[in-house]
């Protein structure tokens, strides 16, 4: 299999590449992976260093809105895993144009190329945020989309666009929607690496509002196992939720991170809540479990401890960008 993975110098994509080309070779020994990444602020070639010398690895520095480049690459690959996206809610609130360009127009560019060359499966990776805030229960794949931030609206748009290419053209499109990821190599703008790096650097951390917003936490390794399950066994035109199974309020998560970094609540600054801040996300991954055998295996307590330990011992990964960050 020749696999094109977009955005794979980022957090989730780089883990997927390290998994596919790592010792276990879940897609077989003859898999070839090409990474297409624009190397924006959140992309880091260092995250791919462990597999860059593998014979099946290739890297192309480029933008998914570059139609001629995308066309050449898609034509030479059997499948696409589309992870490239602008993904930070705060940045989308400040300026949404990059989110529309990358998440909507970039997805369209890839879909058009896949359609021209009959490339599939086309795995489109999305987020639980497209369902909007869920007061009780958990979102299932057939629930209406109700995004509330420019980021989640751009992802919902790209989800619908991708699925339309299956329903209209018969393209083998599969969509996944995951809960909040954590793990090593995550750029420190998302809450866990932001809090960890600031605490390790001796600084303070911002807690939005009353800290009661609830998120479900998914280890990036579990997420990538879910992606591979959908890529190899999912059905065309279907959507699959990929959840983690650990729901925490932001205040509860903050307490765990303070303990892990040997810090106290005096290091927490209570800040004005984010505009349009969704109260709770939760996805039901019964479909992925029953159809594909997916279930998360990482214990959150152990996974969080390992993640904090990784940031302790990889200061060079985050020390420079940490000073530039705005908030969680």
Q: List the catalytic residues.
A: 128-129, 151
Tokens (6 digits) for 56: 């099946």
Phi-psi map region of 13: left, alpha, beta (phi>0 left; psi -120 to 50 alpha): alpha
Give the distance, in angstroms, between the CA of residue 247 and the centroid of all CA atoms in the same chain: 18
DSSP E strand boundaries for the chain: 2-6, 32-37, 57-61, 79-82, 122-127, 173-178, 180-182, 205-208, 214-219, 239-242, 246-249, 268-271
Q: Is 315 helix (H, G, I), strand (E, B) or coil?
A: helix
Tokens (6 digits) for 71: 């066309």
Closest CA to 307 of 148, 191, 213, 151: 191
Label the pairing between strands 239-242 and 205-208. Answer: unpaired
- CA 142 – CA 278 distance, rounded (Å): 20
* DSSP tally for the chain: helices H, then strands E: 12, 12
Within 10 Å of residue 176's Cβ, how many Cβ atoms?
27
Q: Write the CA distances from 305 to 15, 70, 183, 221, integer angstroms.
A: 18, 39, 10, 15
Backbone angles phi, psi at 87, to 5 degrees: -135, 0
Cβ contact 41:321 at 8 Å: yes
Q: Which position has the token pair 């793990």?
A: 183
The widest CA-to-CA distance across the chain, in whole angstroms, is 57
Q: Is 69 helix (H, G, I), strand (E, B) or coil?
A: helix
Give the distance, in angstroms, between the CA of residue 317 and the centroid of all CA atoms in the same chain: 19
- CA 326 – CA 328 distance, rounded (Å): 7
Dihedral sign for Cα atoms in the order 192, 197, 200, 202: negative
């Amino acid at each position: 299999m020749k696999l094109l993975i977009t955005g794979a110098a980022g957090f989730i994509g780089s883990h997927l590449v390290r998994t596919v080309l790592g010792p276990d070779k879940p897609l077989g020994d003859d898999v070839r992976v090409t990474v297409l990444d624009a190397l924006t602020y959140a992309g880091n070639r260092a995250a791919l260093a462990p597999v860059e010398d593998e014979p099946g690895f290739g890297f192309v520095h480029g933008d998914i809105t570059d139609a001629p480049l995308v066309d050449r690459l898609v034509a030479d690959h059997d499948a696409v895993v589309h992870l490239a996206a602008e993904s930070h809610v705060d940045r989308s609130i400040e300026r949404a144009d990059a989110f529309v360009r990358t998440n909507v127009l970039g997805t369209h560019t890839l879909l058009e190329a896949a359609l021209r060359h009959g490339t599939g499966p086309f795995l489109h990776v999305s987020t639980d945020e497209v369902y909007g805030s869920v007061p009780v229960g958990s979102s299932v794949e057939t629930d209406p989309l109700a995004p509330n931030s420019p980021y989640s609206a751009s992802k919902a748009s790209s989800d619908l666009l991708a699925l339309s290419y299956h329903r209209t053209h018969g393209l083998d499109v599969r969509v996944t929607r995951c809960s909040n990821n954590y793990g090593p190599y995550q750029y420190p703008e998302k809450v866990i690496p932001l809090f960890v790096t600031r605490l390790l650097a001796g600084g303070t951390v911002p807690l939005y509002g009353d800290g009661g917003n609830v998120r479900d936490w998914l280890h990036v390794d579990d997420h990538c196992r879910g992606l591979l399950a959908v890529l190899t066994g999912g059905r065309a035109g279907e959507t699959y939720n990929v959840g983690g199974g650990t729901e925490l309020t932001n205040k509860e998560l903050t307490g765990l991170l303070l303990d892990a970094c040997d810090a106290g609540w005096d290091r927490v600054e209570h800040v004005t809540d984010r505009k349009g801040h969704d109260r709770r996300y939760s996805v039901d991954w019964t479909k992925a479990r029953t159809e594909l055998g997916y279930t998360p295996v990482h214990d959150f307590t152990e996974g969080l401890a390992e993640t904090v330990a990784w940031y302790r011992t990889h200061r060079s990964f985050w020390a420079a960008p940490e000073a530039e960050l705005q908030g969680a």
